[in-house]
């Protein structure tokens, strides 16, 4: 069985470089998601802070709000400092995409989301889990999120 690669990103260009390597050389998925699913998921979460987060059911919103008030900032700081995310954490269903053989549109969508985030200077919607974020914290969080998922796609 192929193991997860050890991956950390220092900037968004390194994410683009890793993505280019996966496209150019091919990859082996070590878990359930292919390159298209991974890119769509990452692009979703990269654009939510700019465009707004989807609405969650009331019970989920209340639970996430409670977590934000009690542990949200500590979780954020841990992820930013360690550049790691916990494994097997739930995500919202809207960001779980169906597998597809045609990955290029999804790769391009993620590239555009990365460029957009890198250049964004406007309002950042508060995270439902972490609350208000600076651009620097948002980018650091996205780097950890990208490393988390792209580490499951091992280059051939």
In this predicted model, what pLDDT tens digit does every residue of 18-52 receive, in sequence order?
A: 999 999 999 999 888 999 999 999 999 999 999 99
CA 138, 142, 144, 148 torsion-angle sign: positive
CA 22, 84, 113, 57 torsion-angle sign: positive
Helix (H) or strand (E) holding 38: helix 35-51
Query: Tell me: the pLDDT tens digits for 72-119?
Result: 899 999 989 988 887 777 788 899 999 988 999 999 999 999 999 999
The pTM for the full model equals 0.92
Query: What does the block give as tokens for 32?
Result: 């359930």
CA 17, 23, 29, 34 torsion-angle sign: positive
Place of tokens 């739930």: 90
Closest CA to 76 of 151, 125, 144, 10: 144
């Amino acid at each position: 069985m192929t193991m997860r690669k050890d991956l950390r990103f220092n900037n968004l260009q390194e994410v683009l470089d890793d993505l280019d390597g996966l496209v150019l050389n091919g990859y082996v998925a070590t878990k359930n998601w292919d390159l298209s699913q991974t890119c769509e998921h990452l692009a979703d979460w990269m654009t939510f802070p700019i465009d707004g987060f989807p609405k969650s059911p009331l019970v989920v919103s209340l639970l996430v709000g409670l977590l934000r008030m009690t542990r949200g900032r500590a979780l954020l700081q841990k992820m930013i400092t360690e550049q790691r995310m916990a494994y097997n954490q739930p995500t919202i269903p809207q960001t779980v995409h169906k597998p597809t053989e045609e990955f290029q549109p999804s790769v391009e969508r993620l590239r555009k989301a990365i460029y957009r985030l890198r250049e964004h200077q406007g309002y950042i919607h508060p995270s439902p889990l972490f609350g208000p974020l600076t651009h620097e914290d948002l980018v650091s969080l996205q780097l950890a999120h990208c490393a988390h998922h792209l580490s499951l796609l091992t280059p051939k």
